[in-house]
Structure 1
Amino acid sequence: MSTNVHCSECGTDFTGKDDVEFVDLGAETRFFKASKRFYLVACNECGAAIGGGVAGR
């Protein structure tokens, strides 16, 4: 059984890691210093945010 994962905005199928972009918000914005890194996962086709999270340093 295969899983079909796609962007809810544009419908692009995600078949590999190159289909999404991981953006480290701590490094990009330099808005604040913290012991954790905040990141966003976006569709490479349309740029829609599809997820995100927090990672420890």
Structure 2
Amino acid sequence: MPAENIVEVHHLKKSVGQGEHELSILTGVELVVKRGETIALVGESGSGKSTLLAILAGLD
């Protein structure tokens, strides 16, 4: 029996500002987490890790 997807994100984009002042924070994020999996989110400071987690938690 295949594992159930508990998180599934496709083509996620997060921007702030507007017009010529718009800044893309996240672009084209793809993520699938299956039940029972453990994942780690790693990257440089300012790469969007906390922003992604806030979006997934429904805080942003």
TM-score range, shorter chain: under 0.3
The TM-score with structure 2 as length reference comes to 0.27
The TM-score with structure 1 as length reference comes to 0.27
